[in-house]
């Protein structure tokens, strides 16, 4: 149950989730103070209820003065831990307010794709389902919607601020080092992700990647049924692929499920994970798979911007960590002109060298992490420094030969030069299309 009337609530951060949390709490009778350390002119129109008291451009109020602190994902726990009586993020609030089964999706890479694919699959199965959370739609926006199931993409930052979060189906896609600048170690990052399983019961299900040893080891923590997904099988319970089709099983004999469209590599894993979650929720995998043929992948994820003069330009701006960039490079057999760099997140760039050797003809490096990336590539790939993304696109155009792929897959955060990975991807798309033959 969720009772906020008369409570003093402090919302930290006025991004998308912070604004939705402030409005949600105020509409339920809480006395809300919404704070952001950025100046008001940088926040734009907040569109908050008049009852919300907004403070910007200065230090956060003392969390100890409030009954509840609602931190935005970007606010580290050190900013309120030890002072807040209670800290719930927007995912915890949404879970307490929603009265329908929750499917929660986490992992290092592929979360948004799988969440949106699940939305499409459950709708194809005849259920009213919507996805929200870390993918850019506030989780609290689902409250009050006419739904049969809610899908929440949850990040490690959001899971840090859960207290009793208990999804009916919890999906962990993969785990590789990421956000070490926030969590401090890979072990701490895994612990944050594992919170998705912490409050499940025997009535719930965990969907885990059998091909990822770190993820698969978490089955020991699962309290309910464990479903696996893997590129090859069989599995006692879960989904795997064979001969261009998926096979799914809960109990008894497996069912063959056709996979319409181009599903291979990481994309195949995403499709299998979504199918497994459908089965774990009790849905019909045959009907669900009907969503695969027309599914439009979200932008900035190995998105083909254009093909011009037999050169393919690919926007993978969402590759903000090493594992995502490795997956993107592995996807292409053609010679690659690779654009990488940005803000280092405390990750080890060494795995990029092995996969880039023989695939990338040249690496065009930009941003704060360019020197460290060049050291990690260690002569195994020819490297050039560029001042910015537009210069990298221009240089790629000079270097590209017929049959090449020009791949933006940064392996870094965007915040040294851009407000978000989305802005970085849009800038790449604009620069590519501006120079494409008409």
Q: Which DSSP symbol is given to 250?
A: S
Q: Which of 65, 60, 82, 90 is nearest to 161 (CA)?
A: 90
- 67 burial type by CB count under 10 A (0-12 exposed, 13-18 middle, 19+ buried): middle
**What are the tens digits of pLDDT across the range 366-385?**
999 999 999 999 889 999 99
Distance CA 214, CA 56 (A): 41
**What are the tens digits of pLDDT across the range 323-350?**
999 999 998 887 999 999 999 998 999 9
- 148 burial type by CB count under 10 A (0-12 exposed, 13-18 middle, 19+ buried): middle
Distance CA 286, CA 60 (A): 51
Q: Which of 46, 51, 56 is nearest to 12 (CA)?
A: 56
Q: What is the dihedral of CA 402, 404, 405, 408, to 10 degrees?
A: -100
Active site residues: 111, 134, 179
- Record the pTM: 0.92
**What are the tens digits of pLDDT across the range 146-190?**
999 999 999 999 999 999 999 999 999 999 999 999 999 999 999
Q: Which DSSP symbol is given to 373?
A: H
Distance of CA 194 to the CA centre of its chain: 15
| Residue-level pLDDT, tens digit, the chain, 438 residues | 479 999 999 999 999 999 999 999 999 999 999 999 999 888 888 999 999 999 999 999 999 999 999 999 999 999 999 999 999 999 999 999 999 999 999 999 999 999 999 999 999 999 999 999 999 899 999 999 999 999 999 999 999 999 999 999 999 999 999 999 999 999 999 999 999 999 999 999 999 999 999 999 999 999 999 999 999 989 999 999 998 899 999 988 999 999 988 888 889 999 999 999 999 999 999 999 999 998 988 899 999 999 999 999 999 999 999 999 999 999 888 799 999 999 999 899 999 999 999 999 999 999 999 999 999 998 899 999 999 999 999 999 999 999 999 999 999 999 999 999 999 999 999 999 998 775
Residue with tokens 């002569």: 379
The domains located in the chain, with CATH, are 8-87 (3.40.50.720), 91-291 (3.40.1190.10), 303-435 (3.90.190.20)
| Residue-level pLDDT at 136 | 86
Integer CA distances (angstroms), 4 to 15, 25, 375, in order: 21, 7, 53
Q: Which of 79, 85, 68, 78 is nearest to 22 (CA)?
A: 68
């Amino acid at each position: 149950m969720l009772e906020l009337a008369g409570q003093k609530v402090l919302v930290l951060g006025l991004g998308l989730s912070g604004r939705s949390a402030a409005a949600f709490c105020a509409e339920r009778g809480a006395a809300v103070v919404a704070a952001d350390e950025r100046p008001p002119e940088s926040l734009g129109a907040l569109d908050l209820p008049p009852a919300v008291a907004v403070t910007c451009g200065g230090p956060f109020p003392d969390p100890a003065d409030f009954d509840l602190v609602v931190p935005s994902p970007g606010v580290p726990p050190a900013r309120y831990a030890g002072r807040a009586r209670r800290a719930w993020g927007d995912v915890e609030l949404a879970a307490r307010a929603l009265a329908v089964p929750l499917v929660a999706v986490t992992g290092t890479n592929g979360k948004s794709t799988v969440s949106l694919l699940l939305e499409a699959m459950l709708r194809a199965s005849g259920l009213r389902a919507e996805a929200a959370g870390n993918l850019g739609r506030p989780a609290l926006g689902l409250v009050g919607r006419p739904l049969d199931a809610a899908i929440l993409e949850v990040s490690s930052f959001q899971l840090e601020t859960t207290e009793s979060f208990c999804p009916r189906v919890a999906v962990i896609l993969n785990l590789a080092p990421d956000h070490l600048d926030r969590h401090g170690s890979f072990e701490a990052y895994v612990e944050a992700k594992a919170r998705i399983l912490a409050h499940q019961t025997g009535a719930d299900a965990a969907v885990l990647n059998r091909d990822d040893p770190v993820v698969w080891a978490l089955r020991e923590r699962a309290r309910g049924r464990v479903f696996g997904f893997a590129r090859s099988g069989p599995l006692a319970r879960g989904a795997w692929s064979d001969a261009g089709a998926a096979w799914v099983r809960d109990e008894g004999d497996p069912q063959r499920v056709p996979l319409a469209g181009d599903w291979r590599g990481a994309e195949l894993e995403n499709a299998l994970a979504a199918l497994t979650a459908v089965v774990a929720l009790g849905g019909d995998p045959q009907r669900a798979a009907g969503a695969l043929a027309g599914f439009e992948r979200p932008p900035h994820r190995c998105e083909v911007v254009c093909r011009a003069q037999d050169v393919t330009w690919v926007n993978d701006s969402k590759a903000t960590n090493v594992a995502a960039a490795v997956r993107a490079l592995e996807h292409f057999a053609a010679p690659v002109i690779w654009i990488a760099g940005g803000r280092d997140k405390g990750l080890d760039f060494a795995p990029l060298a092995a996969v880039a050797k023989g695939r990338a003809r040249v690496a065009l490096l930009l941003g704060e992490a360019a020197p460290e990336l060049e050291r990690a590539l260690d002569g195994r790939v020819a490297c050039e420094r560029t001042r910015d993304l537009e210069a990298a696109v221009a240089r790629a155009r000079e270097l590209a030969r017929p049959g090449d792929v020009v791949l933006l897959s940064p392996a870094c955060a965007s915040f040294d030069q851009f407000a978000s990975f989305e802005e970085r991807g849009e800038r790449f798309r604009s620069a590519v299309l501006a120079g494409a033959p008409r």
